[in-house]
Amino acid sequence: AAKASGKASWARFEPRMHSEVVNHARLGSELHNAIIRHELELAYQPVFDLVTGLMAGAEALVRWRHPVRGLVSPADFIPVAERSGLIVPLGSWVLREACEQLAKWHAEYGAAAIRSINVNVAARQLRESGFVDEVAAVLSDTGLIPANLVLEVTESSVLDGRQVRDTLQALHELGVRLALDDFGTGQSSLSLLRAFPVDVLKLDKSFVDGICDGEDRGRLAVAAAVAQLAEYLDLYAVAEGIETAAQAERLREMGYRLGQGYFMAKPLPPAEMAELMIRTVLPVTAA
Ligand code: C2E
Ligand code: MG
Ligand code: MG
Ligand code: MG
């Protein structure tokens, strides 16, 4: 009887599974063309210094302008790209485009430009044996130095095994900084922070959402603990997904020097980003 009902539930489940597979396959093949047809764009979300209010950097976030579907969210196509392996060429495009854009800003605005750019990197990219060479080549082609680049990786991709660990170590030795994205949501183990050359902790938005909610002591506790941890380990702490002045203020009090969120700025097209940048970056003055 158990077997029969198992079968029956499969029979009911199958059509939905099938259509999902077909959808993803279609999205996957369209995504393949998207790279060739130049349908991908980058938006830039500024990171602000919560103490001075000045812009401290920015994160590059990929956008897909689909000819029929319109703007497709990365939350919808990044997982598809990861499963199909398309994330590797897509990620290569993002890395090069973001570095080229930063180099242009440096050339155009000099000290009024942000110094560094954050680029998201998927586990699959880190597993490619040529990834470190690729990063080095992009930096040299664009004339950037390793300190101009911050790579954002998730805890789960860091835990992917020996090869990924060696890659992260090599990137660190090159001088590229590493940020742990969505920090607090993964299989966090504090020993991870000692075993890997991490420079930045990005507190996940889900904790920021809870900090001003008097009922939610749990998320507040995580947010506060991550700030403390960063201070003790001499890492930068960045809070992401800040939507209100109250959250920004509370995070600043907790010790977050840096923050990112709609309250300060949404991800912006390059021209709007540049406009905001030249008004809010503190020019580096000669000592
Ligand atoms: P993420 O790297 O954690 O990026 C932060 C996400 O939070 C972005 O969503 C950003 O627009 C959103 N966000 C920032 N501030 C706020 C806020 O105040 N409120 C709300 N509601 N959202 C906020 P986005 O651009 O949709 O990207 C989603 C995720 O897709 C990213 O999360 C990242 O995991 C992935 N992704 C985006 N671009 C790339 C890429 O080039 N490569 C890879 N591998 N993944 C990417
Ligand atoms: Mg990120
Ligand atoms: Mg994040
Ligand atoms: Mg996230």
Give yes or no for residue 261 CB within 6 A of ligand 1.
yes
Q: DSSP character for 268?
A: B
Q: DSSP character for 186?
A: S
Q: What is the ipTM score, two decimals?
A: 0.98
Distance 263 CA to ligand 3 centre (A): 16
Distance 9 CA to ligand 4 centre (A): 34
Give yes or no for residue 243 CB within 6 A of ligand 1.
yes
* Exposure b/e, 40-70, CB count within 10 A at least 16 = b: bebbbbbbbbbeeeebbbbbbbbbbeeeeee
Residue nearest ligand 1's atom 20 by CA = 241
Q: Determine the 3-state secondary structure of 158 from DSSP.
A: helix
Give yes or no for residue 181 CB within 6 A of ligand 1.
yes
**pLDDT tens by residue, 2-61:** 444 444 444 444 444 455 555 677 778 888 889 889 999 999 999 999 999 999 999 999
pTM: 0.91
**pLDDT tens by residue, 217-249:** 889 999 999 999 999 999 999 999 999 999 999
Residue nearest ligand 1's atom 24 by CA = 74
